[in-house]
């Protein structure tokens, strides 16, 4: 067994088809309704904190949901002009099905490393559990900054994978993991991730021109299974 997890190495030419398969297998719908109440609790805290830090949403706000998936979070956006973007065809199909009746929603099937939107267009960006899936996180963060207006807000979440894998190994050692967490892979390398992501890695990837305003552990600061970070464009 290797000392460190070996994450998949997916080339750009194969990424879209690989990502499509991973979305169908691992999309977030399974965790929002997971039989384990701990998983449901963590996801509820994540979503509620995203909504809290994006508030208030004004009717005039232009908001990008970067890596929207099936549109679960965005269904709570009752104000603003919302652009949902995802590289997955199936994700956009499901998001349209769930949200297409709302006239303030529009959809883009595209790559977050090359967003087809003019500079300084959005007031706010929501990007939840996405950065660990992209080929070039630094390029994505530069693009998100480009499309934000000056002083625009980014609310981003990502997993604390070293802690998650440690907790999994402890539970596996005591034969508890499969009992409490059915249908969850034993290691994050088996998930839909390209790298071991955490707060340190995010700070390294964050390009100049961002100011971190707040960092919060999800579900708790003392047990940060995920991180929520609020940044503004300088």
- The CA-CA-CA angle for residues 175, 178, 179, to 5°, reads 85
Output the CA–CA distances (angstroms, integers) from residue 57 to 10, 49, 62, 74, in the order listed.
37, 14, 9, 12
Query: Given a cut of 50, is residue 186 above it in pLDDT?
Result: yes
**Strand 148-159 with 210-220, pairing:** unpaired
Query: Given a cut of 60, is residue 76 above it in pLDDT?
Result: yes
pLDDT of residue 184: 72
Using DSSP, state whether 214 is helix, strand or coil.
strand
Mean pLDDT of 23-46: 84
Phi, psi of 127 (to 5 degrees): -140, 100
Output the CA–CA distances (angstroms, integers) from residue 167 to 52, 78, 164, 207, 225, in the order listed.
28, 37, 5, 31, 9
Any idea which fold 12-233 has?
Rossmann fold (3.40.50)
Residue spans of the domains in the chain: they are 12-233
Mean pLDDT of 112-136: 96
DSSP 74: G
* Cβ proximity of 57 and 77 under 8 Å: yes
Band (pLDDT 50/70/90 cuts) for residue 183 is low
pTM: 0.92
Average pLDDT, the chain: 90
Tell me what percent of the residues of the chain surpass a pLDDT of 70: 95
Mean pLDDT of 26-33: 76
């Amino acid at each position: 067994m290797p000392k460190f997890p070996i994450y998949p190495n997916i080339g750009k030419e194969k990424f879209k088809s690989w990502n499509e398969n991973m979305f169908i297998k691992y999309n977030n719908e399974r965790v929002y309704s997971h039989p384990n109440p701990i998983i449901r609790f963590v996801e509820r805290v994540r979503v509620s904190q995203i909504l809290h830090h994006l508030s208030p949403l004004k009717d005039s706000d232009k908001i990008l949901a970067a890596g929207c998936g099936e549109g679960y979070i965005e269904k709570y956006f009752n104000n603003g002009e919302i652009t949902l973007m995802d590289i997955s065809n199936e994700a956009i199909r499901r998001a349209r099905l769930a949200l297409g009746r709302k006239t303030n929603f529009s959809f883009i099937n595209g790559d977050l490393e090359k967003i087809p939107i003019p500079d300084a267009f959005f007031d706010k960006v929501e990007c939840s559990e996405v950065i660990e899936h992209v080929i070039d996180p630094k390029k994505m963060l530069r693009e998100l900054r480009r499309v934000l207006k000056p002083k625009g807000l980014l609310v981003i979440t990502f997993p604390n994978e070293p802690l998650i894998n440690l907790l999994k190994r402890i539970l596996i050692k005591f034969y508890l993991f499969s009992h409490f967490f059915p249908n969850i892979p034993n290691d994050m390398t088996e998930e839909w991730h390209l790298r071991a992501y955490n707060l340190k890695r995010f700070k390294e990837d964050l390009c100049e021109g961002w100011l971190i305003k707040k960092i919060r552990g999800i579900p708790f600061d003392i047990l940060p299974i995920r991180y929520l970070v609020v940044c503004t464009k300088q």
